[in-house]
Amino acid sequence: FNPRDDNLYALGDFCDRGPMPVRTLDFLMSLPHFFPVVGNHDMWLYEYLCTGIPAPIWLDPRNGGRKTYNRIRQISSEKKERIREWYGTFPLLRTVGDKIILHAGPSASVTTEEELLRQIQDITLRQAYEAKLLEGHYTQIVRDVGWDRDYIRTAMKLEAEADRDPKVLRDPFITEKTIICG
């Protein structure tokens, strides 16, 4: 990997995975060609940076947020603000050529690429969070692309049972593009 020349696409959840979350964020912020999409852990960190209050689910030992929370609490308010501003620019979805890049998978509330892109393309984490503040919750499609694993579970089940009559967990998503999810 050559950070000056290579593009790095990240599928979300890079804040709570590993022993040095702040150092990881510093490294990623230094990359000139870093292209992330938002994951649910990124949403939890962003909300903490906006409110100063960590979500209990983020601190749950199964989710890995406690280490990030403890480290982030120790940094300066200026650095927290810089991380918050940076995170706020992350899109929920990217299209790159013939690929759709997102964290969890396309929402079950849409069945075509056109619907998905119309509803979520160009929405940043900041915009999704501001809408959450107005509505009291994330919209279903925002929640789905950050959390819902049904798409990938269905794809895995269909692949595993390709020679049998598989039970379809959800309707197929119609697109000519390759979907890349974390």
User: Which residue bears the tokens 């959800």?
Assistant: 170
Burial (0-12, 13-18, 19+ Cβ within 10 Å), 122: exposed
Mean pLDDT computed over every residue of the chain: 89
What does the pLDDT average to over 118-123?
91
The reported pLDDT for the residue numbered 106 is 87
How many whole angstroms separate alpha carbon 55 and alpha carbon 57?
A: 5
pLDDT band at 105 (very low <50, low <70, confident <90, very high): confident
What number is the average pLDDT over the span 54-61? 94
pLDDT for 182 equals: 82
Q: Are 117 and 95 a contacting pair, CB within 8 Å?
A: yes
- Pick from 69, 57, 54, 53: which is nearest to 16 by CA? 69
* Cα(170)–Cα(167) distance, integer angstroms: 9
Beta strand spans in 29-71 (E): 34-36
Q: Is the pLDDT of residue 93 over 60?
A: yes
Residue 157 reports pLDDT greater than 80: no
Evaluate the CA torsion angle 8, 82, 49, 16 in order and state its sign.
positive
Output the pLDDT for position 164: 54
Has residue 61 got a pLDDT over 80? yes
The pLDDT value recorded for residue 74 is 95
